[in-house]
């Protein structure tokens, strides 16, 4: 018998506080490292907190426990978010977060499953995560394993053709154990997503590919939780949750600014950000 994260949190305020703490740790990590991706790590913090602490079954003491739910961060450049979540979940000490991007640290610039417990798969080459989630989900079904697979994609990432091959595959094989999110913050490294390569209408496209599609405000915890509940009830279809988010969410001078896609905060910016996050 394996102990798991059994006291799943449904209190909105508690989950919001977890997401805030995750944002704080993300910014501290990035500032210490002097490099990394700020905007997309902050925009998906509420989503990741809801997935891990309201839904997922996992066991930090036994990361390879067969009946664990799986989480795939397809937008692997948001690795600081995943590391902050894993530390919060008890996979390793918060002290390790200070080693982000340092030589010999398991906290690499993109997640590496060979060096860090809790990371299911190495990601960072955009477009691959949903295919990996599908493969895991198929294997779980073959093994009659009730575990679910959660995947977060970036909106700009969905410009990759492999994403749409994966979309067809998940629907074709009725992968109702797959629940994916699009972190729809509207910005990618080269500018606004709609200017780089238009992806609208997002809802209609995923529905046409055979997915059950939901849309939420990706910063309203109650909406995220309701969508996760609904996804669990859907049979014979994968679920895509389009989360409308803000790049750099939580810090006013990062929000909606494309230049902070891949730039770490300065110490002065961190100090100002801490005041906003801690005191509103």
Q: Where are the domains of the chain?
A: 12-279
- Going through the chain in order, the beta strands assigned E by DSSP cover 70-73, 149-154, 178-184, 187-188, 191-192, 212-217, 239-244
pTM over 0.85: yes
DSSP string, 107-124: --SS--TTTSTT--S---
Using an 8 Å Cβ cutoff, are 152 and 73 in contact? yes
- 70-124 pLDDT, tens digit per residue, is 999 999 999 999 999 999 999 999 999 999 999 999 999 999 999 999 999 999 9
Tally of CB atoms within 10 A around 6: 7
- 25-36 pLDDT, tens digit per residue, is 999 999 999 999
Mean pLDDT of 229-258: 98
Which CATH superfamily hosts domain 12-279? Thiamin diphosphate (ThDP)-binding fold, Pyr/PP domains (3.40.50.970)
- 132-152 pLDDT, tens digit per residue, is 999 999 999 999 999 999 999
Q: At 1, is the pLDDT very low, low, confident or very high (cuts 50, 70, 90)?
A: very low
């Amino acid at each position: 018998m394996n102990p798991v994260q059994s006291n799943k949190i449904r209190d909105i305020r508690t989950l919001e506080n977890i997401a805030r703490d995750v944002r704080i740790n993300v910014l501290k990590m990035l500032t210490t490292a002097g490099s990394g991706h700020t905007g997309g790590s902050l925009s998906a913090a509420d989503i990741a907190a809801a997935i891990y602490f309201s839904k997922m079954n996992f066991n930090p003491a036994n990361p390879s426990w067969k009946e664990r739910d799986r989480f795939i961060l397809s937008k692997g450049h948001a690795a600081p978010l995943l590391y902050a979540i894993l530390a919060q979940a008890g996979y390793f000490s918060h002290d390790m977060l200070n080693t982000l991007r340092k030589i010999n640290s398991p906290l690499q610039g993109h997640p590496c499953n060979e060096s860090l417990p809790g990371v299911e798969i190495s990601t960072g080459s955009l477009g691959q995560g949903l295919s990996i989630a599908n493969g895991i989900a198929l294997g779980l079904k073959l093994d009659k394993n009730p575990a679910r697979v959660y995947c977060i994609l970036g909106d700009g990432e969905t410009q990759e053709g492999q994403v749409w091959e994966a979309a067809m595959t998940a629907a074709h094989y009725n992968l109702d154990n797959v629940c994916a999110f699009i972190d729809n913050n509207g910005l990618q490294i080269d500018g606004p997503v709609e200017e780089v390569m238009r992806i609208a209408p997002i809802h209609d496209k995923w529905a046409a590919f055979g997915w059950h599609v939901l849309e939420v405000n990706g910063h309203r915890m109650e909406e995220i939780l309701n969508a996760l509940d609904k996804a669990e009830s859907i049979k014979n279809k994968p679920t895509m949750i389009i989360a409308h988010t803000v790049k750099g969410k939580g810090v006013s001078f990062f929000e909606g600014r494309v230049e902070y896609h891949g730039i770490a905060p300065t110490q002065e910016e961190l100090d100002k950000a801490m005041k906003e996050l801690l005191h509103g």
